[in-house]
Amino acid sequence: MRRLEPSLPDEIGAQFGPYEIVRRLGVGGTAETFEAIRRREGGFSQRVCLKVVLPFYADNETFTKLFQREAMLAAKLRHRNIVGVIDFGEVDGRSYLALELVDGIDLRTLLDTSDRHRLDPDLVVLFGLELAAALVHAHNP
């Protein structure tokens, strides 16, 4: 099995199309995510989460179509528990999604800071209800 390596530079200020990379957030099985800034004329700037397809999948037409479908479907969703799609496209043959950047901590960090790496049951119920609300919205827009 081929190892899927991240590919964009992790250096502050590296460019990916109209986006300036601030830092890498993570790498998954098919894409990597970055905190990035989109700058426009007149001093406009916006922090985003930039999701970029890994090079291994860049030439896979089936995967690219699925990624584009994900972008189009996600762009239609507006809900407090679903990050918004700001932009999507392609730079140098690499598909990307620019998503709303949500400040906060990830689940792993939350677990690492909790007693015995377990969440309070009331918090788990709250997360479950909020996730269910997002899923209901996504399947019944």
Cα–Cα dist 74/86, whole Å: 10
Record the tokens describing residue 70, joined without a space: 């994900």
Rounded to an integer, what distance in angstroms lies between the CA atom of residue 51 and that of residue 57? 13
pLDDT confidence of residue 62: 94
Scanning the structure block, which residue is given the tokens 């970029």?
A: 52
Q: Is 1 helix (H, G, I), strand (E, B) or coil?
A: coil
Rg (the chain; Cα; Å): 17
Q: How many residues does the chain have?
A: 141
pLDDT at 1 (0 to 100):
37
Q: Can you give the pLDDT at residue 37?
A: 96
Q: What is the pLDDT along the chain (141 residues), one digit of tens a residue?
A: 344 455 665 567 889 999 999 999 988 889 999 999 998 888 899 999 999 999 899 899 999 999 999 999 999 999 999 999 999 999 988 999 999 999 888 888 889 988 888 899 999 999 999 999 999 999 986
Phi, psi of 53 (to 5 degrees): -60, 135
pLDDT at 3: 44
Q: What is the pLDDT of residue 106?
A: 85
Give 3-state DSSP helix, strand, coil % of the chain, rounded to 5. 35, 30, 35
